[in-house]
Amino acid sequence: MDANAQHEDSLDKNLQELLNKKTKQLGDLKDIIWHLQTENGCPWDREQDHMSLRPHLLEECYELLQAIDELKPSHFENIIEELGDVLLQVLMHGAIAERLGEFNFNDVTSNISEKLISRHPHVFSEPQKTTKDSVETNWEVLKKKERPEESTLASIPKTLPALARSQMLQRRATIAGFDWPDMDGPLEKLSEEIEELTEANSEQNKIEEFGDVLFTLVGIAQRLGIDTEQALRTSNDKFERRFTKVESLAQERKLELTKMELAELDAIWDEVKNSEHS
């Protein structure tokens, strides 16, 4: 009997006991997910592989990010649920790998444990006081030592949202010593890029120059310690909130936005904006 069959047989014997437990721990969750992968489990689960689960993992990560953004003191139900959904995705990938004989979950936990130990020498091997900034810098230095043949930028996923990837690229370049000495440089660069955008005379050139403006802005945000994704998300939410109020006011006053003059639109927008600060 192979390891998978032994695990499955043992789980079947303890399944009812597991289902009756009021408080289920991490090991119980792993057993439930494993059972779903067995012949007596769920046909949908057995048909999944790493690629088919990819969109679900992405969706659950974004839902968790939204739960974090909306987190309120003493109201943790939503973030608990979304953390569980992300954990489910991680464990499902582990269960699929075990079913297919690719690797087991102990490989995953061992790998991340060794990484945490090796990346925290100031805690585990050479205890010493340090600062947050030096820890972040040393993390990248230690990562580079693990793969010295790779570019500093090699491990940055191309699947990241463009703003987040741009910020990570520039952060890594800064740690490698490729950066302006002060804020004057990037601000001058921004003016230069905006001028080049206004002079762009083809569709492709406009796209490239606009991208350069965005890239430079991300670099400025990086120097200011601003998370560009969060900053733009905040502005998106602010615009949505204010525009929804503009629509509501226009409806109350029997006005049609499409027929209003620019001055009228500005006036009602400023009314909404000022009401938030009063």
Same domain for 102 and 81: yes
Domain with residue 53: its CATH number is: 1.10.287.1080
Least confident of 80-94, 117-131, 182-196, 243-257: 117-131
pLDDT value of position 1: 52
Do the domain assignments include residue 172?
A: yes
Q: Which of 83, 220, 274 is nearest to 91 (CA)?
A: 83
pLDDT value of position 238: 95
Angle separating helix axes 26-36 and 3-20, nearest 10 degrees: 120
- Model pLDDT for residues 178-225, shown as the tens digit of each residue: 888 999 999 999 999 999 999 999 999 999 999 999 999 999 999 999
Distances (CA, A) of 84 to 44, 51, 57, 101: 20, 20, 12, 25
Give dist(CA 230, CA 218) in Å, integer.
12
pLDDT value of position 102: 96
Same domain for 70 and 25: yes
Same domain for 177 and 243: no
SS3 16: helix
Based on the structure, what is the number of domains in the chain?
3
Same domain for 76 and 155: no
Amino acid identity at 34: W
**Rounded percentage of the chain residues whose pLDDT exceeds 70:** 95
- Model pLDDT for residues 66-89, shown as the tens digit of each residue: 999 899 998 999 999 999 999 999
| Structural domain containing residue 261 | 230-277
pLDDT value of position 18: 80
Q: Which of 183, 172, 160 is nearest to 136 (CA)?
A: 172
> 230-251 as b/e, with b when 16 or more CB fall inside 10 Å?
eeeeeeeeeeeeeeebbeeebe
Do the domain assignments include residue 207?
A: yes
**pLDDT band at residue 134, thresholds of 50, 70 and 90?**
confident
Out of 226, 246, 266, a domain closes at 226
- Model pLDDT for residues 13-41, shown as the tens digit of each residue: 677 788 888 888 999 999 999 999 988 89
Same domain for 77 and 24: yes
pLDDT value of position 169: 94
**pLDDT at residue 5 above 70?**
no
The contacts of residue 98 (CB under 8 Å, 6+ apart) are 4, 34, 37, 104, 105
For residues 149 and 101, the model is more confident at: 101
pLDDT value of position 16: 76
